[in-house]
Amino acid sequence: MTQDEMKQAVAQAAVDYIKPKLSEDSIVGVGTGSTANFFIDALAEIKHLFDGAVASSEATAERLKNHGITVYELNNVAEMEVYVDGADEFDGGLNLVKGGGGALTREKIVAAVAKEFVCIVDSTKKVDVLGEFPLPVEVIPMARSYVARELVKLDGMPVWREGFVTDNGNLILDVHDMEITEPKELEEFVNNITGVVTNGLFANRGADIVLMGTEQGVETLTL
């Protein structure tokens, strides 16, 4: 099975998982990335079963609309049944690193609103200790150098994702060489650096369930 086939399988598994929870009033939060794109395509098949979606990026909004799925502004939504998104890494505590696609801030906001966060990944994303994937940090442009110096103090190696601007008009620093043994604490610490919008650790609000595509099929992981 290729990595794309595993992504497609978990995307379908996510649709099967959320289907019984949906009603005509339900709003589905939708993440960003290649796995989320497979999910959007599968979700389109059941679009008659729910009201609409909230997108975590402009790219996702575009794909949802192309499928004829109504996209709502988050500010106009009081309740969200479920949020479905991929991840760049996850550990045994269902803590995640996200933001490879640069949508981390909107992803974190939508995840915060949702009653349940379903994370969809292939088995290459599982790690014992987070940090093999560089940790994305969204920063206000004028704070880029200052935040980078502060991140070096944490023994990380921040690299400016040059040429990339987030949907919020900000920049990304990808922090290499981190061994993240205390994800909740590090998430809070990095978010407290002045000029940081948010970082890609999803530990204080991690996944409630991870659907992981493997060669043998889709595994369901919960705490």
Residue positions annotated with a catalytic role: 107
Out of 103, 172, 207, 212, name the contact with ligand 5RP by CB under 6 A: 103
Using CB under 6 A as the binding rule, whether residue 32 contacts ligand 5RP is answered as: yes
The window from 96-104, 152-160, 203-211, 214-222 that contacts ligand 5RP (CB under 6 A) reads 96-104
Residues 34-73 that bind ligand 5RP (CB under 6 A): 34-35
Say how many C-beta atoms besides its own lie within 10 A of residue 216's C-beta: 8
Using CB under 6 A as the binding rule, whether residue 187 contacts ligand 5RP is answered as: no
d(CA 102, CA 154): 22
Using CB under 6 A as the binding rule, whether residue 100 contacts ligand 5RP is answered as: yes
First-last CA distance in the chain:
27
d(CA 212, CA 11): 10
Whose structure tokens read 């939508």? 110
Helices (runs of H) and strands (runs of E) counted in the chain: 6, 13
Q: What are phi and psi of 101, to 5 degrees?
A: -90, 0
Q: What are phi and psi of 135, to 5 degrees?
A: -80, 115
Using CB under 6 A as the binding rule, whether residue 104 contacts ligand 5RP is answered as: yes
Using CB under 6 A as the binding rule, whether residue 158 contacts ligand 5RP is answered as: no
Out of 15, 28, 33, 138, name the contact with ligand 5RP by CB under 6 A: 33
Residues 105-134 that bind ligand 5RP (CB under 6 A): 107
Contact residues for ligand 5RP (CB under 6 A)? Answer: 31-35, 85-88, 98-104, 107
